[in-house]
Amino acid sequence: MSEPVYAAIEAGGTKFVCAIGTADGTLRERARFATRDPESTLAEALAFFEAAAQRHGRPRALGIASFGPLELDPYAPLYGRLLRTPKAGWHDVDLIAPFARLGIPVALDTDVNAAAFAESIWGAGRHADGTPLDTLIYITVGTGIGGGVVVHGRTLRGMMHPELGHLFPRRHPDDLGFAGVCPHHGDCLEGLANGPAIVARLGHELGNATPDHPIWDIEADYLGQLCAQVTLAISPQRIILGGGVMQHARLFPLIRARTRHWLGGYIARHQVEAGIDDYIVAPGLDDRSGILGALRMAVDTGRQQRDTAVDTGESLP
Ligand code: ZN
């Protein structure tokens, strides 16, 4: 029998990534296209999987890692839908129903929870011997700021899912005149530290800011506050920072210094003192954490389904 394959989607605000892969994290085929209106975008994803099934065999399950906010409570009537997203036309869109035609189980989580999950299994969220860390946070800083959390090998979900980007930082003294860009809160973390907030202050694109521009000290201070606050709230074993803004090379050392500043010596642990270079780190999977997280969700869901089928004596396909 050929090796089982699984389907994965990383649904982003600007692009969709669809892939077919195997349980070890190998992507057999991948497609990338622009996020347009929900109907045509989801139809293009479905068409990819139907065509890919001809080449690789029918996938056992589908994992969807999506931008949010999402209804993730399987008992809620709106399960699988996007909630109050600012992405035009996508509010209330059902992300699961369009894939019913594939006839396979579907797992859904946020893109950042999925990224945290993949990093814990294959990336920078592991011990030196390769085993997953028990508690890990993945934060992306780009057009938005989002955070995913893995606790005890599972992504953190509750009433909804973590929304770490909308925590409130203390204002930097040199940044008091800026109102922030979050449509809900103004000067929450996302409103002060996402890509558009930097551009709004600079008046030009991010890439044109000189390395010693004071904006980076302000940016690092806010992200340092975020790292300090999630350290206090969740006590992760590591924090991974990804996303477009984090490509700016100077940020990591500045953020580590500001994290220590805001922790004020209270967390007397090696990880946040001499060992902080190994506590706040870049992703190990580059920009593949989201799609690999979706793949791994599909693998786990496919296996669960089969275990349940065996327990109840149902015949397997
Ligand atoms: Zn906000």
pLDDT tens, residue by residue, 142-179: 999 999 999 999 999 999 999 999 999 999 999 999 99
* 124-283 under CATH 3.30.428.10, yes or no: no
User: What is the CA(186)–ligand 1 centre distance, in A?
Assistant: 6
Task: Give the distance (Å) from ligand 1 centre to CA of residue 170.
Answer: 14
152 Cα: distance to centroid of ligand 1 (angstroms):
28
Ligand 1 geometric centre to CA of 166 (Å): 4
Predicted local distance difference test score (pLDDT) of residue 168: 97
Tell me the CA–centroid distance for residue 182 and ligand 1, in Å.
5
How many Å lie between the centroid of ligand 1 and the Cα of residue 29? 36
In the reported structure, the alpha carbon of residue 178 is separated from the centroid of ligand 1 by a whole-number distance in angstroms of 14
CA–centroid distance, 300 to ligand 1, in Å, is 33
Distance between Cα 165 and ligand 1 center (Å): 7
pLDDT confidence of residue 311 = 66
Q: What is the pLDDT of residue 313?
A: 60
Dist. CA 183 → ligand 1 center (Å): 7
Three-state SS annotation for the chain = CCCCCEEEEEECCCEEEEEEECCCCCEEEEEEEECCCHHHHHHHHHHHHHHHHHHHCCCCCEEEEECCCECCCCCCCCCCEECCCCCCCCCCCECCHHHHHHCCCEEEEEHHHHHHHHHHHHCCCECCCCCECCEEEEEEECCCEEEEEEECCEECCCCCCCCHHHCCCCCCHHHCCCCCCECCCECCHHHHHCHHHHHHHHCCCHHHCCCCCCHHHHHHHHHHHHHHHHHHHHCCCEEEEECHHHHCCCHHHHHHHHHHHHHCCCCCCHHHCCCHHHCEECCCCHHHHHHHHHHHHHHHHHHHHHHHHHHCCCCCC
How far is the centre of ligand 1, averaged over its atoms, from the C-alpha of 131 (Å)? 35
pLDDT at residue 259, rounded to an integer: 98
Per residue in 214-235, pLDDT (tens digit) is 999 999 999 999 999 999 999 9
Same-fold call for 6-110 versus 124-283 = yes
Q: What is the distance in A from the centroid of ligand 1 to the CA of 1?
A: 50
pLDDT at residue 53 in the model? 96
CA of residue 80 to ligand 1 center, whole Å: 23
Distance from Cα 147 to the centre of ligand 1, integer Å: 13
Separation of CA 235 and ligand 1 centre (Å)? 23
> pLDDT band for position 207 (50/70/90)?
confident
Distance (angstroms) between ligand 1 centre and the Cα of 181 equals: 8
Kindly report whether the global pTM for this prediction surpasses the value 0.85: yes
Q: Is the model's pLDDT at 249 over the cut of 80? A: no
Domain ranges for the chain, please list them. Answer: 6-110, 124-283
Cα 280 to ligand 1 centroid, rounded to whole Å: 23
pLDDT exceeds cutoff 60 at 88? yes
Distance 162 CA to ligand 1 centre (A): 13
CATH classification of 6-110, choosing from 3.30.420.40, 1.20.810.10, 3.40.50.2300, 3.90.180.10?
3.30.420.40
Q: How far is the CA of 85 from the centre of ligand 1 (A)?
A: 12
pLDDT reading at 317 higher than 60 = no
How many angstroms is it from 317 CA to the middle of ligand 1?
Answer: 46
Query: What is the 151 CA–ligand 1 centroid distance (Å)?
Result: 24
Expressed in angstroms and rounded, the spacing between residue 159 Cα and the centre of ligand 1 is 18
| Interval between CA 96 and ligand 1 midpoint (Å) | 27
Interval between CA 16 and ligand 1 midpoint (Å): 24
Q: What is the mean pLDDT of the chain?
A: 94
Residue percentage of the chain with pLDDT more than 70: 97
pLDDT of 155 reads 97
